[in-house]
Amino acid sequence: MSNNQLDKKSSAWSALFSEPMSELVQRYTASVSFDKRLWQVDITASLAHAGMLAAQGIISTEDHAAIVRGMQQIWTEIESGAFVWKQELEDVHLNIEARLTQLVGDAGKRLHTGRSRNDQVATDVRLWLRGEIDAIAELLTALQTSLLEVAERNVDVILPGFTHLQVAQPVSFGHHMLAYVEMFSRDAERFLEVRRRVNRLPLGAAALAGTSYPLDRKRVAKELGMHDEHGAPQLCRNSLDAVSDRDFAIEFSAASALAMVHISRLSEELIVWMSQNFSFIRIADRFTTGSSIMPQKKNPDVPELARGKTGRVVGHLMGLITLMKGQPLAYNKDNQEDKEPLFDTVDTLKDTLRIFSEMIGGQLNPASGQKEGGIVVYPQAMEQAARKGYATATDLADYLVKKGLPFRDAHEAVAHAVKAASTHQVDLSELPLAVLQQFHPAIEKDVFDALSLRGSLNARNVSGGTAPVQVRAQIAWHRERLC
């Protein structure tokens, strides 16, 4: 076959067509500009398919050897940048197959026996996504470790805990960090659960109905690592479903959107905490930018961008789920639109996780073996802020309950005390004992222990609570889990 013939896209489906595609339609339908990213998994899956075809006697061992040789060369060509991608060959699959045939002749043409691009692309996307999930899981571990390190150093630092962004009760800053560790650990769990459903083999479904060749699907699944934890091969069980549904990509996208939402909440807090009115923390200069007009500015661009990019990842979830809606069985070209949102989701999430691990936990300095340049915490500013909003009012109510008052009565008495204190612009702990006793006679000298921030913290010694002894126990538990 001449090169010229191979270059013509019509070579993929032959004589039926009486006119060539216009350049616009070609550009509109081609996906190679973005799906070439799948080249490694495409070759890997093709080699597994070819090995099985040979083992089953469907192609000869000579043809198999030629396919392996050709694919090795193509791999090198793509890696070195020498491979010429052609839009007229539409997608990654046809580009690689055409080059294979150019290199090894008829053996290349036999590769597609018992296969369709429909089961091929579904296999490729699954294999690619599986690898990305593994990378994301590692990045999530790194981010959790960074947060855990900050938590460890700040167990005894007191932060005003907020509800409705109003000072509520004092909490340990370490405890606050652990809340994010919990969120990201659930994200990691979610990705692992999605991975199980991603890691199933569509090949063998062919175009939609299966194939008449005696394929050994289990062999291909095993070869591609598509098995469960006991080594049992995982196959898509229904050929129509195998080529058509992209629910695995939608699930992945939903898990990514949630992870980004968690990052976005953290971003919002970092932004607030580093504003002048709070000054609770500082992040390293390399994650901030200046202003072109206001010389004093250091803007938290990285957390702001992460918050903004969350919108884009959530948007991809909407795009993918809408893509599926209304598609009849089985494969439809709509599905080609799954790739760009998926790729962008993976890129955005991975970059964000990487940058956050470093921004929070710092960068390893090989000379000292220490991480440096993570977030800097200002305990005094946090504690001062906690003193402002009557953060220990609940503790006074609890104190009265321990003296025998029903909680609702205690709540009411303390409300009066807070009102009086705020009129005089002092904290509850700054009211003289005699004044406090006007709100309830049961109040005695020991009330001041309850009114201290640290006393309040220590008192929340329930499992999952913010008492430093509990926070230390939680840190130890996470350490064990993450190691």
Task: Give the CA distances from residue 357 to residues 125, 183, 361, 445, 478, in Å, rounded to whole numbers and listed in that order.
Answer: 28, 15, 6, 47, 16
Nearer to ligand ARG, 42 or 427 (CB): 42
In the complex, least distance from residue 56 CB atom to ligand ARG, rounded to whole angstroms: 24
Nearest partner of 346 among 151, 77, 128, judged by Cα: 128
Annotated active-site residue 164? The verdict is yes
Catalytic residue among 291, 416, 422, 424: 291
- Give the pair of three-digit tokens for residue 220: 């291909």
Integer Cα distance of 428 and 225 in angstroms: 64
95 touches ligand ARG (CB under 6 A) = no
In the complex, least distance from residue 36 CB atom to ligand ARG, rounded to whole angstroms: 11
Nearest partner of 443 among 410, 407, 406, 394, judged by Cα: 410
123 touches ligand ARG (CB under 6 A) = no
Annotated active-site residue 227? The verdict is no
> Which of 49, 110, 115, 117 touches ligand ARG (CB under 6 A)?
117
9 touches ligand ARG (CB under 6 A) = no
91 touches ligand ARG (CB under 6 A) = yes
Residues in contact with ligand ARG, total (CB under 6 A)? 10
335 touches ligand ARG (CB under 6 A) = yes
Integer Cα distance of 386 and 384 in angstroms: 5
Identify which range of 319-327, 330-338, 428-436, 456-464 contacts ligand ARG by CB under 6 A. 330-338
Identify which range of 70-78, 117-125, 410-418, 473-481 contacts ligand ARG by CB under 6 A. 117-125
Identify which range of 49-57, 128-136, 331-339, 385-393 contacts ligand ARG by CB under 6 A. 331-339
Q: Are 377 and 150 in contact (CB under 8 A)?
A: yes
Nearer to ligand ARG, 91 or 398 (CB): 91
Q: Are 144 and 478 in contact (CB under 8 A)?
A: yes
474 touches ligand ARG (CB under 6 A) = no
Region 21-80 residues binding ligand ARG, contact defined as CB under 6 A: 31, 35
Integer Cα distance of 218 and 145 in angstroms: 38
Nearer to ligand ARG, 112 or 227 (CB): 112
Integer Cα distance of 368 and 374 in angstroms: 15
121 touches ligand ARG (CB under 6 A) = yes
244 touches ligand ARG (CB under 6 A) = no
- Long-range contacts at 281-290 (CB < 8 A, ≥ 24 apart): 281/375, 281/376, 281/377, 281/378, 282/375, 282/376, 282/378, 283/359, 283/375, 283/376, 284/359, 284/362, 284/373, 284/374, 284/375, 286/373, 287/355, 287/359
Nearer to ligand ARG, 89 or 151 (CB): 89
Token pair 């495409």 is found at 42
Catalytic residue among 14, 80, 164, 230: 164
Q: Is the dihedral of CA 340, 342, 343, 348 positive or negative?
A: positive
Nearer to ligand ARG, 119 or 251 (CB): 119
Nearer to ligand ARG, 93 or 309 (CB): 93
Is the backbone peptide bond immediately before 330 cis, with ω within 30 degrees of 0? yes
In the complex, least distance from residue 154 CB atom to ligand ARG, rounded to whole angstroms: 48
Nearer to ligand ARG, 31 or 211 (CB): 31
Integer Cα distance of 373 and 450 in angstroms: 37
Integer Cα distance of 250 and 339 in angstroms: 11
Nearer to ligand ARG, 10 or 56 (CB): 10
> Which of 141, 336, 394, 470 touches ligand ARG (CB under 6 A)?
336
Integer Cα distance of 291 and 441 in angstroms: 57
Integer Cα distance of 234 and 213 in angstroms: 20
Integer Cα distance of 284 and 449 in angstroms: 38
In the complex, least distance from residue 77 CB atom to ligand ARG, rounded to whole angstroms: 21
245 touches ligand ARG (CB under 6 A) = no
Q: Which residues of the shown chain bind ligand ARG in the complex (CB under 6 A)? A: 31, 35, 91, 117-118, 121, 331, 333, 335-336
Q: Which of the residues are catalytic?
A: 164, 291
